[in-house]
């Protein structure tokens, strides 16, 4: 290995594995990143179809399609798990993280390339297991939060929840291994001269996310194991009859669950920073503030979990603490929003598709974020808990904002990944169609929630019919835009114009733009020397 590398620079080995072995046995961060993105797109079709079915049923009052309410609940559960664990996380962390963290820090690959592969195939297996559980003995109709007693053996006899627990354990191990891989890579394998305080903000975002994964997922694993033994081995962690408490599950789940939502959004923050600075042709305003805002959000995100439990019977003083702590998170988040705006201020902006999605992200994340601030107040939450107001809130920040981040990343980086550029007119149409579609789906849900419509129901009183109809129409537009996106992907890969090494001009300063497009199988085999250079950001 050491013999060839020195002479050939960035286009070192021409030989690399081919055929199915190249993928199944991959130890290449780019190939693994690609596999994650393919998985994410496939899972998006499955999870998106589930949401279509849900909204089809909710379009009109009365039951039209899903008289089997257990199956309806399974759709709700599957939709949630798939979108969180098999669409957003694989795309942002497994996909863009694997592709671009080594490229941006000047590393030839991840610290543990084979473990990287294990992480990917674990997620693939977990996805299969989740689908199996949906068709096993009634399926898990618990919601993604899997609360006992509904999820215990009394109310979900059969193996569906157990297989679902297995799926989550696999996905969890995958994430923990991936997190360790990213942390070690970022700490130990930066090119000479690249201090942590000069690395791109996307790398910071993956670093913070990895620490959140490392600390949060094991707690989910513990809780899941307790649920498994309660269901099958006679323990009573969550059963009052044995001295346990169902609220313990809620504490354990949300101790994981709240950091999980930051795990979902923080990589998107990183992508937005890269895109905004590129297209405003200015370095990000307040780099240190941006980096440490993410650290702070991650940190405080660990001590606010019970704002998901305001109606579980907590003490008033307990609730007061969680209200205050939750409101605190709005501060570093606001710093980030203002910093992105300050970056654009005085910049020379090109509204290419990535920038359109980035601007959309900033606006729509604020919309979703402010409803989160409202929900942080336990008094208001007593009225809004488990209503469509909550559904609207989290879909704005996850289904809209995080997905806008994914699309921004796709359009920004597809030239580097595939060597071909996307069709720009179609991309803009995709942006507008998706923007209109998702806002039409989720904005009216705020009204439904405030008016008292509960979540996770297949039918509702006639009074809620109007906005439900509007919301469902929005899903047709969103689906059409999703089909357009898949067409754009196909068109890009088959007939896209050749991408230059740097299609974005002077604003694109990070290291990935200094390697050819498409990026060769091996890059940075000779470590670049970044001592004394400007911060890459």
The reply to whether 176 sits near another protein by the rule CB under 8 A is: yes
Q: How many CB atoms lie within 10 A of CB 188?
A: 9
**Residue in 10, 56, 68, 112 binding another protein, rule: CB under 8 A:** 112
Cβ distance to another protein smaller for residue 382 or 383: 382
The reply to whether 306 sits near another protein by the rule CB under 8 A is: no
Question: Catalytic site residues?
Answer: 79, 109, 144, 174-175, 258, 260, 262, 273, 307-308, 333, 336, 455
Spatial contact of 80 and 25, defined as CB atoms under 8 Å apart = no
The reply to whether 157 sits near another protein by the rule CB under 8 A is: yes
Alpha-carbon span 176 to 122, nearest angstrom: 11
Axis-axis angle for helices 424-450, 465-495 (nearest 10): 160
**Residue in 17, 218, 516, 535 binding another protein, rule: CB under 8 A:** 218
Provide the CB-side half-sphere exposure for 325 (13 A, CA): 20
Helix, strand or coil, per DSSP, at residue 387: strand
Give the distance from CA 157 to its chain's centroid. Answer: 32
**Residue in 155, 351, 487, 490 binding another protein, rule: CB under 8 A:** 155
Closest CA to 407 of 337, 480, 353, 364: 353
Subset of 307-366 contacting another protein (CB under 8 A) = 313, 315, 318
**Residue in 45, 215, 335, 349 binding another protein, rule: CB under 8 A:** 215
**Residue in 39, 105, 146, 252 binding another protein, rule: CB under 8 A:** 252
Cβ distance to another protein smaller for residue 211 or 413: 211
- Provide the terminal-to-terminal Cα distance of the chain, rounded to the nearest Å: 32
Residue 290 Cβ, how far from another protein at the closest point, in Å? 25
Residue 497 Cβ, how far from another protein at the closest point, in Å? 39
**Residue in 179, 291, 391, 488 binding another protein, rule: CB under 8 A:** 179
Residue 217 Cβ, how far from another protein at the closest point, in Å? 8
Q: How many CB atoms lie within 10 A of CB 480?
A: 14
For another protein, which stretch binds (CB under 8 A), given 244-252, 274-282, 366-374, 416-424? 244-252
- φ, ψ for residue 387, nearest 5 deg: -110, 175
DSSP 423: P
Going from the C-alpha of 189 to that of each of 186, 315, 445, the distances in angstroms are 6, 48, 46
Cβ distance to another protein smaller for residue 148 or 405: 148
Helix, strand or coil, per DSSP, at residue 126: helix
Residue 236 Cβ, how far from another protein at the closest point, in Å? 9
**Binding residue count for another protein, defined by CB under 8 A:** 40
The reply to whether 153 sits near another protein by the rule CB under 8 A is: yes
**Residue in 188, 494, 531, 534 binding another protein, rule: CB under 8 A:** 188
The reply to whether 196 sits near another protein by the rule CB under 8 A is: no
**Which two tokens mark 128?**
């299969």
Cβ distance to another protein smaller for residue 302 or 434: 302
Cβ distance to another protein smaller for residue 111 or 390: 111
Alpha-carbon span 18 to 15, nearest angstrom: 9
Helix, strand or coil, per DSSP, at residue 207: helix
- φ, ψ for residue 486, nearest 5 deg: -65, -35
Q: Binding mask 68-107 vs another protein (x if CB under 8 A, - otherwise)? A: ----------------------------------------
Q: How many CB atoms lie within 10 A of CB 192?
A: 10
Cβ distance to another protein smaller for residue 42 or 112: 112
Spatial contact of 437 and 404, defined as CB atoms under 8 Å apart = no
Alpha-carbon span 163 to 246, nearest angstrom: 21
**Residue in 70, 154, 348, 497 binding another protein, rule: CB under 8 A:** 154
Axis-axis angle for helices 287-300, 316-344 (nearest 10): 160
Residue 134 Cβ, how far from another protein at the closest point, in Å? 21
Residue 294 Cβ, how far from another protein at the closest point, in Å? 19
- Residues binding another protein (CB under 8 A): 2, 111-112, 152-155, 157, 176, 179-180, 183-184, 187-189, 214-223, 226, 234, 237, 239-243, 248, 251-252, 313, 315, 318
């Amino acid at each position: 290995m050491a013999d060839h590398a020195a002479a050939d620079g960035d286009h070192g080995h021409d030989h690399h594995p081919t055929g199915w072995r190249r993928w199944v046995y991959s130890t290449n961060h780019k190939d693994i990143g690609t596999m994650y993105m393919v998985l994410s797109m496939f899972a998006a079709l499955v999870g998106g179809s589930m949401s279509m079915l849900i909204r089809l049923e909710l379009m009109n009052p009365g039951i039209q399609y899903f008289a089997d309410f257990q199956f309806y609940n399974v759709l709700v559960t599957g939709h949630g798990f798939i979108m969180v664990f098999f669409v957003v996380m694989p795309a942002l962390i497994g996909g863009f993280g694997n592709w671009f963290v080594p490229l941006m820090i000047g590393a030839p690959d991840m610290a543990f390339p084979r473990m990287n592969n294990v992480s990917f195939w674990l997620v693939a297996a977990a996805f299969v297991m989740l689908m199996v559980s949906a068709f096993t003995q009634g399926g898990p109709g618990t919601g993604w939060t899997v609360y006992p007693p509904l999820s215990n053996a009394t109310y979900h006899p059969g193996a569906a929840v157990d297989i679902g627990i297995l799926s989550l354990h696999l996905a969890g191990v995958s994430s923990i291994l991936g997190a360790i891989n990213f942390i070690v890579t970022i700490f130990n394998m930066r090119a000479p001269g690249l201090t942590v305080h000069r690395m791109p903000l996307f790398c910071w975002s993956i670093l913070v996310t990895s620490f959140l994964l490392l600390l949060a997922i094991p707690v989910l694993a513990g809780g899941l194991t307790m649920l498994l033994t309660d269901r099958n081995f006679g323990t009573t962690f969550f059963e009052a009859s044995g001295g346990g408490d169902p609220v313990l599950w809620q504490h354990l789940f949300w101790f994981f669950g709240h950091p999980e939502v930051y795990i979902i959004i923080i990589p998107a923050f990183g992508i937005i920073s890269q895109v905004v600075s590129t297209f405003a042709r200015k370095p990000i305003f307040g780099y240190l503030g941006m980096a440490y805002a993410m650290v702070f959000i991650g940190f405080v995100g660990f001590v606010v979990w019970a704002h998901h439990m305001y109606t579980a019977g907590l003490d008033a003083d307990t609730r007061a603490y969680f209200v205050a702590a939750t409101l605190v998170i709005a501060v570093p988040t606001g710093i980030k929003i203002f910093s992105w705006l300050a970056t654009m201020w005085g910049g020379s902006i090109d509204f290419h598709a990535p920038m359109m999605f980035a601007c959309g992200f900033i606006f729509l994340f604020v919309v979703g974020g402010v409803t989160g601030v409202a929900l942080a107040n336990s008094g208001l939450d007593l009225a809004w808990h488990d209503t469509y107001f909550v559904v609207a809130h989290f879909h704005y920040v996850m289904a809209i904002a995080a997905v806008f981040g994914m699309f921004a990343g796709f359009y920004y980086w597809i030239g580097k990944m595939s060597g071909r550029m996307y069709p720009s007119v179609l991309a803009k149409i995709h942006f507008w169609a998706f923007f209109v579609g998702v806002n039409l789906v989720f904005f009216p849900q705020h009204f439904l929630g405030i008016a008292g419509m509960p979540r996770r129901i297949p039918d509702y009183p006639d009074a809620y019919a109007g906005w439900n109809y509007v919301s469902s129409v929005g899903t047709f537009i969103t689906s059409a835009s999703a089909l357009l996106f898949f067409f754009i992907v196909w068109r890009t890969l088959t007939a896209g114009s050749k991408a230059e090494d740097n299609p974005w001009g002077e604003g694109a300063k990070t290291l990935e733009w200094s390697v050819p497009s498409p990026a060769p199988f091996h890059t940075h085999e000779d470590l670049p020397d970044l001592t004394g250079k400007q911060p890459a950001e």
